Structure 1
Amino acid sequence: MVDPEVLERIAARRAELDGLEEQLIKQLEQVRAERDELAVAERVLVRMSEQFAGERAAVAPASAQVGGRAVLLVPHRGDSPDETALPGDYRRILAIVRTAGGPVQVRAVGEELGLQVEVRGKLEPLRAKLADRGWLHKRPDGKFTARL
């Protein structure tokens, strides 16, 4: 004959395990729901980062290798009339020329940029950077104005 106390303990343990099973099922459902939400969030983030990367690539200045060194390619104004295609330093030069209120000498732009304007070699690159690519207009007197 089976001891009734043993049967009672078995029934109590079975009830305890049934309760634990219900808790685990609820927990598992919550875990699966959160995992599904994370998968959706991950897909959205990947899609957004790809979109942002595409936008940045369209706006970011291109670079090339010259003599084994990476250099920025400054687009011609006709190729890309949007200033955001220019590197930041070039946009700053344009802003300086525009805020001058009239034709400006390269020396003034160099001073505003914090270059050593006494050293002629420091100003020469400025002369060609934007004027040769159509972003600035070089007047016969050597001063520059921004193109509209």
Structure 2
Amino acid sequence: MSEQLAEERASAAPTPGHVGGRAVMLIPHRTPDTEETMPPPDCQRILAAVRQATGPVMARRVGDTLGIDVSVRSKLEPLRGKLVRLVDRGRLPKLPDGRFTTRL
């Protein structure tokens, strides 16, 4: 039984993939039994920044919390993309007004 559980956890672990010839880290979809440590470290930092906020936050506020220069659009857009990927994977909800919040 423990071998089967270990195999299931290994299959859910982040695996590197290739996009355009570059190695990228694939973010697994969230399942009820997925541990919070499963996403890559940068995604874990983003999730922690959203959790620290007192309410729903915009990407700019998350960038401020992470120490990213949000006045430069080219630095803010990759963060926004990661936030959207976390929403797509079921790790963060996104409100209709574009703000991100923790799982309700």
TM above 0.5, yes or no, is: yes
Which one of 123, 126, 138 corresponds to residue 76 of structure 2?
123
CA distance in 1, matches of 2:91, 2:19: 23
- % identical aligned pairs: 59
Query: Residue in 1 aligned with 2:39?
Result: 86
Q: Which one scores higher on RCO, CA 8 angstroms, separation ≥ 6? A: 2
Corresponding pairs, count: 95
The corresponding residue for 1:4 is: none
How far did 1:113 drift? 1.6
Q: How does 1:1-148 map to 2 (within 5 A)?
A: 58=10, 60-78=13-31, 81-127=34-80, 128-148=84-104
Q: What's the TM-score once normalised by structure 2's chain length?
A: 0.75
- Counterpart CA distance in 2 for 1:138 and 1:115 is 21
| Corresponding letter in the other structure for 2:77 | E
Higher percent of residues as helix: 1
What is the RMSD of the two structures over their aligned residues, measured on CA atoms?
2.5
Deviations 1:120-141 (A, max 9, x none): 2322232323122211111112
Confirm or deny: 8 A CA contact 1:110 1:117 kept in the other structure.
yes
Summarize deviations over 1:63-102 as a string: whole Å, max 9, x none: 1111111100011223863221100111111111111121
CA contact (8 A) 2:57 2:101 kept: yes
Alpha-carbon offset, residue 108 of structure 1:
0.9
Larger displacement relative to structure 2 (81-90 or 117-126): 117-126
Unaligned segments of structure 1, at least 5 residues: 1-53
For normalisation by structure 1, the TM-score amounts to 0.55
Which structure has the larger Rg?
A: 1
In structure 2, stretches of 5+ residues that fail to align are 1-5
CA contact (8 A) 1:137 1:144 kept: yes
Q: 1:85 to 1:141 in 2, by over 3 A?
A: same
**Quick one: structure 1 residues 91 and 117, their matched pair in 2 at CA, closer, same or farther if it must change by over 3 Å?**
same
